[in-house]
């Protein structure tokens, strides 16, 4: 098996020789086939009560906020979560750029239009420490929203990767490699390689929780 840490002349050595060019970067997609990414926005509005009434007309009430949910293949998928905060704030969370754009269009249709104050797009990572809405701003958020929906997709992809054969393990799946003395050493290197930010070249998503993957394989946490 190739040496994961042989970065010299990377075009020809190490893992590069096992992978066609260009290397495919895996992407996470929603059930609606949109690229999954957590998009957050913060808006100001002149009439908060009027905005709430509009949300009641368009979205589904969920706790203190609202969600837009669709049914795909018999499963509920939450595209959007919206909630408000005093004195004039509207907070938005969406599971794709397309879903977020639809909310922005609605907010811009208010009279007067809502004003954008802050936005953040997180790819498929959705890491809590990087969230735009933290602390007191989450007080009115629906209990379940796009963040949780994306995390379910990530966990599904982690389970798929654990059982999928990979050329980096000579055609074994990571789960199969655990029982092979030679392959398990390479598996440890592969997971360490992923921790350094190269996991996408081996079919992992940047959003993978590598501790969770290790536990699924029975390897224990990294630290």
Per-residue pLDDT, 27? 81
Per-residue pLDDT, 7? 32
CATH topology of domain 39-149: Outer Surface Protein A; domain 3 (3.90.930)
pTM: 0.81
Tokens standing for residue 99: 């879903």
Evaluate whether 59 touches 135 at the Cβ level (below 8 Å): no
pLDDT at 50 over 80: yes
Evaluate whether 108 touches 93 at the Cβ level (below 8 Å): no
Helix (H) or strand (E) holding 151: helix 146-162
Instruction: Select the more confidently predicted residue: 132 or 105.
Output: 105
State the maximum Cα–Cα separation within the chain, in Å, rounded to a whole number: 67
Alpha helices in the chain (DSSP H): 48-58, 97-108, 146-162, 174-177, 181-193, 210-216
Per-residue pLDDT, 18? 47
Task: Kindly report, as residue ranges, where domains of CATH 3.90.930 are found in the chain.
Answer: 39-149
Q: What is the mean pLDDT of residues 77-86?
A: 96
pLDDT at 55 over 50: yes
pLDDT at 158 over 90: yes
Per-residue pLDDT, 48? 95
Tokens standing for residue 188: 């440890």
């Amino acid at each position: 098996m190739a040496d994961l840490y042989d970065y010299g002349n990377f075009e020809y050595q190490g893992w590069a020789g096992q992978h066609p060019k260009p290397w495919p970067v895996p992407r996470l997609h929603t059930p609606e086939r949109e690229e999954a990414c957590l998009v957050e926005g913060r808006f100001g509005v002149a009439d908060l009560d009027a905005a709430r009434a509009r949300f009641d007309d368009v979205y589904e009430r969920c706790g203190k906020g609202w969600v837009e949910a669709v049914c795909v293949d018999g499963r509920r998928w939450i595209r959007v979560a919206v909630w408000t905060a005093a004195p004039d704030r509207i907070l938005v969370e969406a599971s794709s750029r397309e879903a977020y754009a639809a909310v922005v269009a609605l907010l811009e249709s208010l009279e007067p239009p809502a004003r954008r104050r802050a936005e953040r797009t997180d790819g498929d990572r959705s890491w809590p420490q990087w969230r735009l809405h933290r602390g007191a701003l989450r007080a009115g958020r629906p209990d379940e929203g796009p963040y949780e929906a994306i995390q379910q997709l990530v966990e599904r992809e982690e389970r798929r990767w654990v059982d999928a054969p990979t050329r980096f393990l000579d055609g074994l799946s990571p789960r199969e490699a655990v029982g092979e003395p030679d392959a398990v050493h390479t598996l440890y290197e592969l997971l360490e390689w992923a921790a350094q930010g190269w996991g996408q070249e081996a079919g992992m998503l940047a959003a993978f929780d590598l501790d969770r993957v290790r536990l699924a394989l029975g390897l224990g946490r990294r630290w």
